Amino acid sequence: MKNIQAFKALIDVPGRMVIITHFKPDADALGSSLGLAGFLKKKGHQVTVITPSDYPAFLSWMPGNSEVVALSNESKEPEKKAKTAIAAADAVFCLDFSSLKRIEDLEESVRKAPGKKILIDHHLEPDQFADFVQWDARAASTAGLVFQLIEQIDEKQRIDANIANCLYAGVMTDTGGFRHSNTTQTEFLVASELTGLGANPSYVAKQIYDTNSLERLKLTGFVLSKKLQVVPDYHTAYITLTSDELKQFSSQTGDTEGLVNYGLSIKGIKLSVLMYDRKEEIKLSFRSLGDFSVNEMARKYFEGGGHKNASGGTSRVSLEETLQRFLKILPEYKSQLSN
């Protein structure tokens, strides 16, 4: 962060802090938010963590979860509470997203908020709206950036086991369990520091990866045996899931997370895509290997973005039309995908 002294002055005076992360938050989004919340509370702030939607049950173990203001379709109450907190905040922290579009119904409230704005993120091509920025596209996780910021202001000693577990969860998941190409020495150093401060790697891994429902595993089995398709000429794999198929396996938020990685685990595959019907829209997840940029593809064709090798997007036509559209754009990337 450039103007670190001004940032320090801002957070050294106890005040009202809001932390907001993206729609359908993952472990890095929620872990970095709750980790930062724990830290700010220890500094005497009143902190409100806001999520623009619900999130997977395998994240509910995170300390601070019960106080999260999560917007929902069932009630307008959380949205009211969130907007009031944003308008009254001395500072609004925006974590793990680079485009205000990703906080959906809260975009305007954050844009108009009178408090200082702080962006902590690692996605490509960030919007310019923040007063303070801790941004690094080479960083594997936002949780790691939160850790480095705390380190930079010399307050590492405030990190306790609860904060460490939240941050560790973000580092672990955004590196795919320390397997993706974004796993560098830095991620191991951050994970090591967090473990020294009380994070419990096997506990966090168990909570996130091994608390499946039987239905979720059966959905995975169904996808692998019936839905995973390969386009050999383009070294591409894809999966589509209709809302009926998701209903058949009593699918909950988060149950589709990780499915897209199976496509990429096939030898020779360079691009993997998951498309599923989220009712209000079709959600797409892209993963790639090497130099092929799914960020570019998601931005150009599916109102999305993310990282070079992991991006997301949406489509407002039917699932079948979305698939046809995707298959039709593949030839444009022939030279990159087919050799």
Q: Map tokens 């724990």 to a residue.
A: 38
| Strands annotated E in the chain | 16-21, 46-51, 69-70, 91-95, 116-121, 132-135, 229-231, 236-241, 271-277, 282-288, 305-306, 310-315
DSSP string, 10-23: HHHS--EEEEEE-S
Q: Map tokens 């670190």 to a residue.
A: 4
Binding at 79: pick from ligand 5GP, Mn ion, none (beta carbon under 5-8 Å per type): none
Q: Which of 305, 315, 322, 323 binds ligand 5GP (CB under 6 A)?
A: 305
Q: Which of 142, 272, 293, 309 binds Mn ion (CB under 5 A)?
A: 142
277 binds Mn ion (CB under 5 A): no
Q: Pick the closer one to Mn ion by CB: 174 or 187.
A: 174
State the nearest-atom distance from the C-beta of 184 to ligand 5GP, in Å: 17
Question: Of the listed pieces 82-90, 178-186, 189-197, 300-308, which binds ligand 5GP according to CB under 6 A?
Answer: 300-308
Residue 72 phi, psi dihedral angles, 5° rounding? -145, 160
Q: Pick the closer one to ligand 5GP by CB: 11 or 260.
A: 260
56 binds ligand 5GP (CB under 6 A): no
Q: Which of 96, 255, 257, 277 binds Mn ion (CB under 5 A)?
A: 96
Closest to 204 (Cα-Cα) out of 61, 49, 48: 61
State the nearest-atom distance from the C-beta of 16 to ligand 5GP, in Å: 27
Nearest residue to Mn ion on Cβ basis: 28
Binding at 142: pick from ligand 5GP, Mn ion, none (beta carbon under 5-8 Å per type): Mn ion
Q: Pick the closer one to Mn ion by CB: 28 or 245.
A: 28
Distance in angstroms (rounded) separating the CA atoms of residues 207 and 27:
11
Q: What pairing do the DSSP bridges indicate for beta strands 69-70 and 310-315?
A: unpaired
Q: Pick the closer one to Mn ion by CB: 25 or 115.
A: 25
Per-residue string for binding with Mn ion, 215-254, x by CB under 5 A? Answer: ----------------------------------------
Q: Do residues 188 and 196 make contact, with C-beta atoms less than 8 angstroms apart?
A: no
314 binds ligand 5GP (CB under 6 A): yes
Distance in angstroms (rounded) separating the CA atoms of residues 309 and 291:
8
Distance in angstroms (rounded) separating the CA atoms of residues 110 and 83:
8
State the nearest-atom distance from the C-beta of 294 to ligand 5GP, in Å: 8
311 binds ligand 5GP (CB under 6 A): yes
121 binds Mn ion (CB under 5 A): no
Specify the amino acid at residue 35: G
Binding at 263: pick from Mn ion, ligand 5GP, none (beta carbon under 5-8 Å per type): none
Q: Which residues contact 307 (CB under 8 A, 6 or more apart)?
A: 122, 123, 124, 137, 182, 294, 295
Q: Which two tokens stand for residue 311?
A: 């991006």
CA angle 202, 176, 211 (to 5 degrees): 45
Q: Map tokens 């485009």 to a residue.
A: 99
144 binds ligand 5GP (CB under 6 A): no
Q: Which of 52, 93, 165, 174 binds Mn ion (CB under 5 A)?
A: 174
Binding at 304: pick from ligand 5GP, Mn ion, none (beta carbon under 5-8 Å per type): ligand 5GP
Plot region of 174 (φ>0 → left; ψ -120 to 50 → alpha; else → beta) = alpha
Binding at 314: pick from ligand 5GP, Mn ion, none (beta carbon under 5-8 Å per type): ligand 5GP
Q: What does the binding site for ligand 5GP look like in residue numbers (CB under 6 A)?
A: 99, 102, 123, 285, 304-307, 310-314
Q: What does the binding site for Mn ion look like in residue numbers (CB under 5 A)?
A: 28, 96, 142, 174
